């Protein structure tokens, strides 16, 4: 299985494949963004992510765990190889990301999962009004490369 297959499978399950865009594509990591056409409620965002991870048999890991530090470090290294970023790796940046979306009047949920040798970071967001698009962002990393 390849990172594009993992991401494509999730985007199809979220009905977000059509019109999705790659934000970064390297041999080890893929970041893809799209808009889901699924009907969903804000209070269900976390459950939707958990259900997707269950369907693909990914194991959810705590974003603030030691295990996650290593995974997020690999993601960060891959991004820094492509884009210049000031500062050091900071796992609390994920929480600040959620806060920034909420400050823009969006409900946001995220989770980190492991599927075989792949790490998956999935973010769902939607406007608090309940109208407008439902955003899906995925980061899929091959941890064995």
Sign of the C-alpha dihedral computed for residues 13, 15, 19 and 20 taken in this order: negative
If one compares 70 and 19, the residue with the highest pLDDT of the two is 19
If one compares 37 and 97, the residue with the highest pLDDT of the two is 37
Burial of 74 per CB tally in 10 Å (0-12, 13-18, 19+): middle
Taking phi over 0 as left and psi of -120 to 50 as alpha, with beta for the rest, 118 belongs to beta
Token pair 């056409």 is found at: 37
Please tell me the distance from the alpha carbon of residue 61 to that of residue 115, in angstroms, as a whole number.
11
SS3 20: coil
In Å, the largest CA–CA distance within the chain is: 42
Residue 70: domain span: 3-142
**Percentage of residues in the chain with pLDDT exceeding 70?**
88
If one compares 57 and 71, the residue with the highest pLDDT of the two is 57
Determine the average pLDDT of the residues in 11-35. 93
Least confident of 73-77, 85-89, 125-129: 85-89
CB 43 within 8 A of CB 126: no
Token pair 């269900």 is found at: 44
Token pair 């929480």 is found at: 95
Number of structural domains (the chain) is: 1
């Amino acid at each position: 299985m390849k990172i594009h297959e993992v991401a494509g499978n999730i985007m199809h399950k979220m009905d977000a494949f059509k019109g999705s865009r790659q934000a970064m594509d390297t041999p080890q990591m893929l970041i893809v963004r799209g808009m889901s056409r699924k009907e969903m409620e804000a209070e269900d965002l976390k459950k939707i992510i958990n259900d997707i991870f269950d369907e693909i048999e990914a194991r959810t890991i705590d974003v603030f765990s030691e295990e996650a530090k290593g995974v997020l470090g690999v993601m960060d290294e891959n991004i820094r190889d492509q884009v210049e970023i000031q500062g050091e790796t900071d796992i609390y940046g994920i929480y600040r990301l959620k806060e920034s979306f909420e400050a823009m009047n969006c409900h946001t949920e995220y989770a980190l999962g492991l599927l075989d040798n792949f790490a998956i970071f999935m973010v769902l967001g939607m406007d608090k009004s309940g109208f407008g698009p439902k955003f899906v962002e995925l980061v899929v990393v091959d941890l064995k490369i």
